[in-house]
Chains A and B, each alone.
Chain A
Amino acid sequence: MNKTLLTGLITVIVAFMLAIMPLPDWAARFRPDWVTLVLIYWALAFPFRVGVTIAWFTGLLLDVSYGTLMGQHAIGMVLVIYIIHIQHQRLRVASLLQQAIVIFFLLLLKQLLTLWVDGMLGRAPDSWLYFMPTLTSTLLWPWTYLILRDLRRKFSVAKHNKF
């Protein structure tokens, strides 16, 4: 379990780094929501270990590194991981495409929540590119899933687990 925990921690850290890595201005608008993607995977793999509380703290850290309002990313993260948690048994047996569709709507929900808060603060973005991260994240879900699964299997003790 310890090895798995370490793997999880490292993947989340790498996701954080990808999330703040400097990109040219046009590319930054397409940046996938790495941290949420990785957290969704771990919530699917270990639903009773990676729950809403961890999601909330991760969201807060994301808020700190993005300089957004404290709780702005956290609220979306909690809701996404909550839905993943209550649906994890169904999602696990779904195909990658079906998973990607569900994740698209979950990330859209998160993005809408962020937009809602931004709108209330009077700094709503004026471009549809705002929803681009949702799309790119969805497209990257199958790869994220496969890479993380291989990593987990390689470093995991519990090999019988399908996920």
Chain B
Amino acid sequence: MQTLFARGPSVTFRMVVLVIASIALMTADHRWHSLEMVRSTLSIVVYPLQYTIDLPIKLYYWADEVLSSKQELLEKNREFQARHLETRVQLQKLDIIEKENDRLRRLLSATPKITERLLISEIINVDVDPYRQLILLNKGSNHGVYLGQPIIDAHGIMGQVVHVAPLSASAMLITDASHAIPVQIDRTGLRAVAFGTGKIDQLELRHLPHNADIQVGDLLISSGLGGVFPPNYPVATVSRVEHIIGEPFATIEATPLAQLDKSREVLLVWQNTPVPGTDGSEKKAIDNDDNSSADEVNSTAGEANQKTENVKPVTDGDNSE
């Protein structure tokens, strides 16, 4: 369908308008994060493609399950049962300690402990920008996922949700070059911020002075400052401490504990500060997340957490020593 005479506005005019629109969109997206609606609407178009791409991998796992022999399954079952028993025994102790902790907190009339609700989500196997560490999850705002929600796996903190669509969400891993997570050294209680480096197996602790008490092998746990991540989850272990003379700060690298490039399933965490002993409040807090803007919820929760958290490391340290 070629026409000799152009209809409507000329191509050059349209090009200029669209280029300006792109720049405006980029600015709005970066400065005010105001395009989540547009993004989540457009994701509905892209989601079927992502789902289809993931299908063969899903099929592989399904076939693996279906085709495994009875013997194998029995063995697995036995192994899991043994492990289950072990963890149950450990949990018994933990349960008592937790109750005791709750009681002591009430005696001190301290703020009740933060509880968490978890939801298992699968990673959809699609590639995104190879220079950034993003993953796509198969749960979205329909399941109550909100912006800035922390994700963890069985070994530690993985990252946080950065875009939410109705059926999917993308999350940034803690090793992304533009990510930072407030941590604290388990052994000493020293607080620091772990920055991502862009490498999947490396974090960096910047701005720690040379005389900071930190050793290779130290466990880094989330401090809960900032309010995005729940406190006291393992994050990484320190893998290298170097004092370069002339540099103002020590060079400290850490290896994330979560299996960032191996996990197939991750856990989404909802954290809230309920009245102790009642479960109904959890539901309410999640509803709140849906209604109000996620950023707002996070920042207010963060301020509330910070007050309790400032006290907590000291008491934790006393208990362990």
Contact = CB atoms under 8 A, between A and B. Distances in A.
Interface stretch (A22-30, A92-100, A101-109, A140-148): A22-30
B108 interface: no
B170 A67 contact: yes
A1 B1 CA distance: 9
B22 A64 contact: no
B130 A74 contact: no
B130 A78 contact: no
Nearest to A25: B130
A117 B26 CA distance: 9
B52 interface: yes
Given A75-B23, A117-B26, A66 B129 contact: yes
B39 A64 contact: yes
A13 interface: yes
Residue among A59, A69, A130 with max Cβ neighbours from chain B (10 Å): A69
A43 B65 CA distance: 46
A137 to B, nearest CB: 15
Residue among B25, B28, B43, B52 with max Cβ neighbours from chain A (10 Å): B25
Contact of B52 (A17, A53, A67, A69): A17
Contacts, number: 126
B155 interface: no
Interface residues of A, number: 47
Contacts of B132: 67, 123
B127 A71 contact: no
B15 interface: yes
Given A56-B22, A66-B128, A121-B30, 12 more contacts: A13-B49, A22-B126, A60-B42, A64-B42, A65-B43, A70-B26, A70-B28, A71-B25, A75-B19, A82-B11, A82-B15, A121-B178
Interface of A: 1, 13, 16-17, 20-23, 25, 28-29, 31, 46-49, 51-53, 56, 59-61, 64-72, 74-75, 78-79, 82, 85-86, 117-118, 121-123, 125-126, 130
16 contacts: A16-B46, A31-B127, A47-B2, A48-B2, A56-B21, A64-B39, A65-B43, A65-B128, A70-B26, A70-B39, A71-B22, A72-B26, A78-B18, A86-B12, A123-B178, A125-B131
